[in-house]
Structure formats: C-alpha cells, structure tokens
Amino acid sequence: MMMLHGISTASAVKQLKREGLKNLYRGILPPLCQKTISTSIMFGMFDQYGKLLKYYQPQLSDGATLALAATLAGCTEAILCPFERIQTLLQDKKFHGKYKNSIHTTREMWKFGVKEYYRGMVSILLRNGPSNILFFGLRTEVKTRLPDPGRSWWGHILSDFVSGAFLGAFISTVMYPINVIKAHQQTQVGGPFQTMRQTFWDVYQARGRQFIRLFSGAHVNYTRALVSWGIINASYEILLKLLYS
C-alpha cells in the first residue's frame, strides 16, 4: 500500500482500519506460494548453475562464476511473475470490488491473454539478478566479519541469522524503487505495456518530483526483510548441514 501509493505509515494504518481485518490478509495466497518456490529456486538453481559453469566454463574466475550463476538463478525465479502480479492486484484498493480472490483474479486476467500475467517482468529481472549477486557475493563476507562463534551450534545459527538479516534489509532497501516501479506496472489491466522508464517518470511526477518519496514504506519493507531473510539464511545453513553433512 505504501509502496504503491506513497502514503505514510499512519495513513496506511488508518486505511486498514477503515477497510477492516478482512482486507488485511487479502492476497496472501500468491506470496505464500511464490516465496516458498522462489527461495527454493534461488538457492537450488544458484548451486546447480555454479556447478554447470565450473564444468563447462572452467576458465571463468570464481567471481564471474558466482555473478553469472546468481543472475541465472534470478532469471529462473522470474517465471513466478504471475504470483506477484496477482498479489499486487488483490492488494490495490481500487480492485477490491472487482477481484474476489486469487482464483477469480487468475480467471479474469486470462481474458487478456497469457502475456497479461507477465506485466512487470523486466523490472523483476532487473531486481532479481543484482539482488542475487549481492546476496551470494556478500553472504560469506558479512559472516566472517561477525564475532567467531567457535564450535557453538547456536552461535553459528545466530551468525547466519544476523548475516542474512543484514543483507536482506540492505538489498531490499537498495532495490525498493524498482519494486515501486514493478508494482505500478502490475496494477495496469489491459492496454499497452508501459516501459520502466515511462513508469518511473509517471511515479516521479506523481510524487512531487522528489526521488526520496520513491522510498515511501521502505522502513516497513526492510523490517520485514530483516526478519524473513535472517530466518531463510539460517534455515538454509541448517538444512545444508543436515542433508549434506
């Protein structure tokens, strides 16, 4: 809501109160499905692409292999664009009376063709690739700069949580304007597809030509990312040790 309309936290809370609890979790199904699958793709495909690149392109440096594998994993994640598309429509108040739920929204969009599910695809690709490069490139570096947990198992879990939380909050904030552009592109239904440049200019003008207003709601976003990516990173390391020890 704050990302899409650029309103303050207080205004967003007031609007939620007016709309009632029934709309608080509106559109929750798509992100539940998308987040689970995309995280699996992100970690799993990064590992697989890395192995393939090392096998077929052994002359590549470790840094180049990491960057390319992370970018390819991000591009693979982008196939889940329809989930983000449906979520954005359901959470926009102007569509509350038009779309009932995820299934209904999916059926209604089918009238415009398969392409309609992939509005904002370029924005997602430009977000996913650099985000993955930053995450996988800095994950180990951040952890090594934290206090040495020694042999303490809970110390390692805490280190993984902190490193993941820091990176999640940092990356989500850096990429926030791209998400704003993506959200505005995905609230369009039917008609020509707007480019990122055109959408950015429209949003920039609508927000009083103040670039800082493109970060409206970023504090809520990085708080959520702080917790979620801390849990994701720590869980990944635990599962990695359990499955491949």
- The beta-strand segments (E) located in the chain are none
The contacts of residue 119 (CB under 8 Å, 6+ apart) are 85, 185, 186, 188, 193
Place of tokens 């979620």: 228
Q: How many CA atoms lie within 13 A of 123 on its CB side?
A: 26
> 131: closest CA among 103, 184, 172?
172
Whether residue 117 has pLDDT greater than 90: yes
Domains and CATH numbers, the chain: 2-244 (1.50.40.10)
Whether residue 15 has pLDDT greater than 70: no
* CA dihedral over 125, 87, 202, 193, signed as positive or negative: positive
Instruction: Identify the residue with better confidence: 93 or 40.
Output: 40
What is the DSSP track for 30-52?
A: HHHHHHHHHHHHHHHHHHHHHHH
Taking only the tens place, the pLDDT of each residue in 70-100 is 999 999 999 999 999 999 898 888 888 888 8
Whether residue 101 has pLDDT greater than 70: yes
Taking only the tens place, the pLDDT of each residue in 123-158 is 999 999 999 999 999 999 999 999 988 888 899 999
Query: In this predicted structure, what is the pLDDT of residue 77?
Result: 95
204-208: average pLDDT: 90
Whether residue 8 has pLDDT greater than 60: no
Q: State the Cα–Cα distance between residues 228 and 9, nearest whole angstrom.
A: 20
Query: In this predicted structure, what is the pLDDT of residue 151?
Result: 83
208-218: average pLDDT: 88
Q: What mean pLDDT, rounded, does the chain reach?
A: 88
Whether residue 205 has pLDDT greater than 80: yes
Q: State the Cα–Cα distance between residues 43 and 120, nearest whole angstrom.
A: 23
What pTM was computed for the model? 0.86
119, 193 in Cβ contact below 8 A?
yes
Compute CA distances 202 → 88, 183, 215, whole Å: 18, 13, 15
Instruction: Identify the residue with better confidence: 80 or 23.
Output: 80
What b/e readout covers 148-159, taking b as 16+ CB neighbours within 10 angstroms? eeeeeeeebbbb
What is the DSSP track for 41-99?
A: HHHHHHHHHHHHHHHH-TTS-HHHHHHHHHHHHHHHHGGGHHHHHHHHHHHSGGGTTT-
* CA dihedral over 150, 156, 160, 166, signed as positive or negative: negative
Whether residue 170 has pLDDT greater than 90: yes
Query: In this predicted structure, what is the pLDDT of residue 5?
Result: 53
27, 86 in Cβ contact below 8 A?
yes
Residue 21 binned pLDDT confidence (cut-offs 50, 70, 90): low
213-240: average pLDDT: 91
**Encoding tokens for residue 212?**
């800082």
Whether residue 1 has pLDDT greater than 60: no
38-67: average pLDDT: 95
Whether residue 22 has pLDDT greater than 60: no
